[in-house]
Structure 1
Amino acid sequence: MTAMTDTPTYEELAARVRELEATVQQQPPPSSELLTGIVDKGVVGFYVTTPDGRFIWANQAFASILGYDSPEQLKAEVTDIQTQFFLDPGDRRHFRETLERDGSIENFECEMRRRDGDTAWVSENACCRRDPDGRITAYEGMLFDITARRQAEQKQEEAEAFVALLLNSLPVPVFYKDRQGRYLGFNRAFETFFGKNREELIGKTVVDINPSELARIYHEKDEELFTAGGTQRYESRVQNAKGQMRNVIFDKSAYKGRDGKVAGLIGTVLDITDRIRMEAALKKSEERFREMAELLPGAVLESDAKLNITYANRMGMKLFGISDDDIAAGINGLDWICPEHREKAARRVAVRKHGKTVRPTEYRMHTRDGGEIWVQLNASPIVKEGRTTGFRIVLTDINQRKQIEKERENLIAELKAALAEIKTLQGIVPICSKCKKIRDDQGYWNILETFIQEHSEASFSHSICPDCADKLYGHEDWYRKLQDKS
């Protein structure tokens, strides 16, 4: 006998074929009882009907598929196959026309009505039985229940429709490819972004539809993903529907087939051109801000939301005696504020975080060398995407002003003390129109000179005016003589 590893000759193969043929011829044909058992107890429905739609014979499987207890019940109750079974009468007409024209029909699928009113999807293979004159006397066929398969297909179709709806609702271009890099599908945003329809893309590769320098990058990246599996993210450039070059981020993920091997990829294209442009503009704006801040005579600081200092201009570093290295090591602005002012500062920070306006505030602050300075603080929030991410702070050195204010307060206090020692009369003083006594604060009436002496530094010497002298002494001779001499 020839070894398994040797190649058999033609003569050896021919001899083996003759042995097999002899073995087959020695086997007895299947008995009619065996065939009958297979038909009666199998899951495939067998039937024979008249061309006009009445049953001649059916097996149990056929009756069960359509909801009947037995073939006898089926034959007794069904008198018109077209009206009793077929949901769409057109299916029955198509079935008969094809069968009578071609003599047979295969894999004819339609939906039929069961005895209980439910429906079942079936697949039929049938042929015509003819008499010696060639006239059709019956239809013979097999019926398969494919309801479960059609339901699964319907669920699959619904799932695919849902996925398509979901993908088309996304504003980001989405695509998927097979292992050879050929496009299998994409959403509407992809078509709009690249200005191509399904007919132009399905089955094509990046090499077919992109400029060569870009296609080479995309192809290499796809191959990396197919080899390594997993996910992939990278920045690149693409040409959009208007022929413009756009900056994008590709996010891709490999998917596996039933054999567990990478079968393709799905990816998204995020256009970041506007973001890059805005970032560049922001960077220029920040550079201008820093340049202007360095020219200001006051201290300018930036911090994060927790008041950790992230930037200080030249005057800020000079004011507090710090350097870039100190900022990099970590400095919190609240630590500079004297303890008695920290709570107030924390409250005002919380208010500013919520976008409310706070008037400029004065604080006493520490410097790195242990000294103290007075500053006026103005702060505005740095808001990104609706959230406060930090603060821009301007500090004005008001030490000199505070010193002047202190000196002024001291001077005012000295003046008040000096004035307190000077006795003066002010306001309305009640005086009797008759006797000219004055009423004091306690309600007592005092002689005029006594009241004035008590409420001022004045003192009195007594004399008499000419009018009073005339009234008192005008009738006296000595007074008249004195007047005559003067």
Structure 2
Amino acid sequence: MKFINLHKAILNSMSEAVYVVDRDMDILYSNPAAERLTGFSPQESVGQVCHDIFCERSALCSGICPPRRVMQEQTPVLHKDAETRTKSGEVRQTQISISPFYEKEECVGAVLIIKDVTDLKVAEEKIRKQNVFLTAVIDALPHPFTVIDAETHHLKLANYAAYPGKLPENMACHELSHLSDAPCSGSDHPCPFEKVKETGQPVTVEHTHCGADGKCRDMEVHCFPIFDDRGTLVQVIEYCIDISERKQATAEREKLIKDLQKAVDDVKTLQGLLPICAGCKKIRDDKGYWNTIESYISEHTDAEFTHGLCPDCITRLYPGYANRRKQG
């Protein structure tokens, strides 16, 4: 008797609903947790057919009734998704485990343990919707966005801009960005992971990434560490911004500034004192060479020369021609 009372006390203390049914599906026992789940007291449940108390008879119980199958096949069923109807008519999402029980080696019934997972299912659905939303947001980003395993460098997630298709299993980040079998190294392509490991802080580096089409682009790589509860670096979030056009514009701007500075320097040279020969009028440059006025000014400015003769020089060099012009 003590043994029976002990077993009953154990069943009554369980947080999951427990029902015992015979081979006719009549309820022989229900514990207090079963009443909390369905609203039916043990007095209301015992002696009733189980589907009149808690079975929803939904598509989840397709084919033969699960307890009947367990008793026929004498094989337990664990954690089967089910729906349980309460006394008020509410349908709860549950998981049911069923085991046959025996008397003198004969299966005489089944024990059903029912766990209410409604809140869990609601939470799972909420998480699923959040994942769908976040995936849509990440895929909408115009820049490549990836999550990378810090130990293996394998890609755990990649948005459409990073990899437009199903991500191959165990694909490393350097295979995607550099078409290389080895991780980044050297001063020209420092591995962001190593910098993150050293500092434990977000890191920004510049890399040249090449695509499968052979085209290479200058990228600004931003890496953010993800740590586990023990503070161990487990993953890295990486997103890349294409700065090719920005770098090209910067180079063009620097060249323009350099050209303008040179022009300014040249103008300043002409504004200073020019050593000029009093006889032939040649100008001495900063290297000590004497240059004609034309060549010196042409070299230091954008001016170009055309040659002709002024009236005084015509008279001096060609007096006959000058007189005829005056008489004519």
Q: Secondary structure at the match of 1:116?
A: coil
1:204 aligns with 2:171: yes
Comparing 80-89 and 222-231, the one that deviates more: 80-89
Instruction: Quote the residue 2:284 is aligned against.
Output: none
Q: Secondary structure at the match of 2:34?
A: helix
TM-aligned CA distance change 1:109 to 1:90, over 3 Å: closer
Measure the CA separation in 2 of the matches of 1:241 and 1:130.
Answer: 66
TM-aligned CA distance change 1:30 to 1:264, over 3 Å: farther
Instruction: Quote the residue 1:60 is aligned against.
Output: 32
Instruction: Quote the residue 2:312 is aligned against.
Output: none
Q: Is the 1:106–1:126 contact (alpha carbons within 8 Å) kept by the matching residues of 2? A: yes
TM-aligned CA distance change 1:214 to 1:127, over 3 Å: closer
Instruction: Quote the residue 1:168 is aligned against.
Output: 139
With the length of structure 2 as denominator, give the TM-score of the two structures.
Answer: 0.67
| Counterpart residue identity of residue 215, structure 1 | C
Unaligned runs of at least 5 residues, structure 1: 1-28, 296-312, 319-486
1:32 aligns with 2:1: no
Comparing 124-133 and 253-262, the one that deviates more: 124-133
Instruction: Say which structure, 1 or 2, has more relative contact order (CA 8 Å, 6+ apart).
Output: 2
Q: Deviations over 1:322-365 (max 9, x none)?
A: xxxxxxxxxxxxxxxxxxxxxxxxxxxxxxxxxxxxxxxxxxxx
Q: Deviations over 1:212-241 (max 9, x none)?
A: 576336784313313431201010111123
TM-aligned CA distance change 1:98 to 1:283, over 3 Å: farther
Q: Is the 1:226–1:264 contact (alpha carbons within 8 Å) kept by the matching residues of 2? A: no
Alpha-carbon distance, 1:45 to partner: 1.5
Q: Secondary structure at the match of 1:160?
A: helix
TM-aligned CA distance change 1:38 to 1:228, over 3 Å: same
| Counterpart residue identity of residue 280, structure 1 | A
Q: Is the 2:34–2:40 contact (alpha carbons within 8 Å) kept by the matching residues of 1? A: no
Please list, as runs of the form range in 1=range in 2, the aligned pairs for 1:142-153 lying within 5 A after superposition.
142-153=113-124
Q: Deviations over 1:384-403 (max 9, x none)?
A: xxxxxxxxxxxxxxxxxxxx
Instruction: Quote the residue 1:123 is aligned against.
Output: 95
Q: Secondary structure at the match of 1:85?
A: coil
Larger Rg: 1
Q: Is the 1:52–1:80 contact (alpha carbons within 8 Å) kept by the matching residues of 2? A: no
| Counterpart residue identity of residue 166, structure 2 | N
Alpha-carbon distance, 1:84 to partner: 4.5
Instruction: Quote the residue 1:42 is aligned against.
Output: 14
Instruction: Quote the residue 1:469 is aligned against.
Output: none
Q: Is the 1:108–1:125 contact (alpha carbons within 8 Å) kept by the matching residues of 2? A: yes
Q: Deviations over 1:51-102 (max 9, x none)?
A: 5654332112112112x14122345776635995244354574735863446
Q: Is the 1:250–1:267 contact (alpha carbons within 8 Å) kept by the matching residues of 2? A: yes
TM-aligned CA distance change 1:173 to 1:112, over 3 Å: farther
Q: Deviations over 1:219-274 (max 9, x none)?
A: 84313313431201010111123221111011011011123322211110111112
Please list, as runs of the form range in 1=range in 2, the aligned pairs for 1:388-399 lying within 5 A after superposition.
none
Instruction: Quote the residue 1:303 is aligned against.
Output: none
Instruction: Quote the residue 2:184 is aligned against.
Output: 215
Measure the CA separation in 2 of the matches of 1:251 and 1:188.
Answer: 18
Measure the CA separation in 2 of the matches of 1:110 and 1:91.
Answer: 11
Instruction: Quote the residue 2:129 is aligned against.
Output: 158
Q: Is the 2:21–2:28 contact (alpha carbons within 8 Å) kept by the matching residues of 1? A: yes
TM-aligned CA distance change 1:79 to 1:96, over 3 Å: closer
| Counterpart residue identity of residue 55, structure 1 | I
Measure the CA separation in 1 of the matches of 2:24 and 2:142.
Answer: 58
Q: Is the 2:149–2:236 contact (alpha carbons within 8 Å) kept by the matching residues of 1? A: yes
TM-aligned CA distance change 1:34 to 1:173, over 3 Å: same
TM-aligned CA distance change 1:35 to 1:133, over 3 Å: closer
Measure the CA separation in 2 of the matches of 1:158 and 1:257.
Answer: 24
Q: Which has the higher helix share?
A: 1
Q: Is the 2:26–2:47 contact (alpha carbons within 8 Å) kept by the matching residues of 1? A: no
Instruction: Quote the residue 2:321 is aligned against.
Output: none
With the length of structure 1 as denominator, give the TM-score of the two structures.
Answer: 0.47
Q: Secondary structure at the match of 1:203?
A: coil
Instruction: Quote the residue 1:236 is aligned against.
Output: 207
Cα RMSD over matched residues? 3.6
| Counterpart residue identity of residue 282, structure 1 | R
| Counterpart residue identity of residue 14, structure 2 | G
Q: Is the 1:98–1:104 contact (alpha carbons within 8 Å) kept by the matching residues of 2? A: no
Please list, as runs of the form range in 1=range in 2, the aligned pairs for 1:44-443 lying within 5 A after superposition.
44-50=16-22, 53-66=25-38, 68-75=39-46, 80=51, 84-90=55-61, 93=64, 95-96=66-67, 99=70, 100-101=72-73, 103-129=75-101, 137-180=108-151, 181-192=153-164, 197-198=166-167, 200=168, 202-206=169-173, 210-211=179-180, 215-216=184-185, 220-287=191-258, 314=268
| Number of residue pairs the alignment of both structures matches | 265
Q: Is the 1:54–1:81 contact (alpha carbons within 8 Å) kept by the matching residues of 2? A: no
Alpha-carbon distance, 1:149 to partner: 2.9
TM-aligned CA distance change 1:88 to 1:72, over 3 Å: farther
Measure the CA separation in 2 of the matches of 1:208 and 1:173.
Answer: 14
Instruction: Quote the residue 1:475 is aligned against.
Output: none
Taking only the aligned residue pairs, the percentage that are identical comes to: 14
Q: Is the 1:182–1:203 contact (alpha carbons within 8 Å) kept by the matching residues of 2? A: yes
Alpha-carbon distance, 1:39 to partner: 1.4
Q: Secondary structure at the match of 1:216?
A: coil
TM-aligned CA distance change 1:207 to 1:112, over 3 Å: same
Unaligned runs of at least 5 residues, structure 2: 273-328
